[in-house]
Amino acid sequence: MPSHLKRCMKCKQYTIAEEKCNFCGEALEKTDPPRFSLEDKYQQYRIPYFKEKMQKKFKILD
Ligand SMILES: [Zn+2]
């Protein structure tokens, strides 16, 4: 998902347009960054420091 992807506040269509919705012309809102899983990403490394941070941040019980 490109980081510059935006979503129309009215019709909720995703668009790469800068300011106005391609479909209805309404203003666009920025979308959240792609939600890849930090948990999955760091699980493969098993770095204790990161694991501890993730557990504190997301309250993961292991
Ligand atoms: Zn729209």
Contacting residues for 19 by C-beta, under 8 A, at least 6 apart: 27, 28
Model confidence at 62, in pLDDT bands (50, 70, 90)? Answer: low
Q: What is the pLDDT of residues 32-43, one digit of tens each?
A: 766 666 666 655
Q: What is the DSSP letter of 32?
A: P
In the reported structure, the alpha carbon of residue 28 is separated from the centroid of ligand 1 by a whole-number distance in angstroms of 8
Residue predicted with more confidence, 19 or 3: 19
User: How far does the centroid of ligand 1 lie from the alpha carbon of residue 20, in Å?
Assistant: 8
- Dist. CA 6 → ligand 1 center (Å): 11
What is the average per-residue pLDDT within 1-10? Answer: 78
CA distance 13 to 7: 6
For ligand 1, the distance from its centroid to the CA atom of residue 56, given in whole angstroms, is 39
Tens digit of each residue's pLDDT (9 = 90 or more) over 46-56: 667 777 777 78
Does the pTM of the predicted model rise above 0.85? no
Number of helices (H), then strands (E), belonging to the chain: the values are 2, 3
Which residue type is seen at 15? T
